[in-house]
Structure 1
Amino acid sequence: MQEKALRIKYIRTLERCSKRFASALKNSNFNEELFVVCREQNIKLLEKCEKIFLDSTYSKELEKFVNDCCYKNYAFNELIAKYNFLEKLKNANQYKKEKHKLKIYEY
């Protein structure tokens, strides 16, 4: 049970970091100095949490996005593209189109 709790805590920490990065990136007047401050705060937050092996595709991409933002220097457009891909992956798991939902009512 403890491993499950640690995994949930790690995923929540990653999501919190990604939301902070997203708000910094989506800001209309993007400032590199503020992004560096956000990066330092997120690194401190990640150091408090123990790393756990993740096996779902969304959680792996989430971890990759946060690590790319924290430890690598990518251009602004590349980070936006990575975040958009992450959101697309998250939304793909949530929505499912019903192909023939009106045929249920035909007799």
Structure 2
Amino acid sequence: MLVAFSVSPLGGESESVSEAVADAVRVVRESGLPNETTAMFTTIEGETWDEVMDVVRRAVEAVQAHAPRVSVVLKADIRPGHGGQLQAKVERVEEHLDRS
């Protein structure tokens, strides 16, 4: 299962969200699950819904420490029995691009 999510503080004292987002990303990286952070989302890969959503919950809690309100956007690709998709999905697209 892949879950791409973004979490952002709302209503805090600063216009910058980078410190709060860094705390969320730290939670993800310390989880030990395969992950990737881009400019808009962090994607994590896990075996079960509970495993992945526990990390998302803890990342949200990390951001809540910075602001009274938090926004979460989440997208999931649930495909039991298919691991290693964090890289494999991109590799399949790159193979098609290389053929062009």
TM-score, normalised with respect to structure 1:
0.35
Higher strand proportion (structure 1 or 2): 2
Larger RCO (CA within 8 A; separation ≥ 6): 2
Give TM-score scaled by structure 2 length.
0.36
Q: Which has the larger radius of gyration?
A: 1
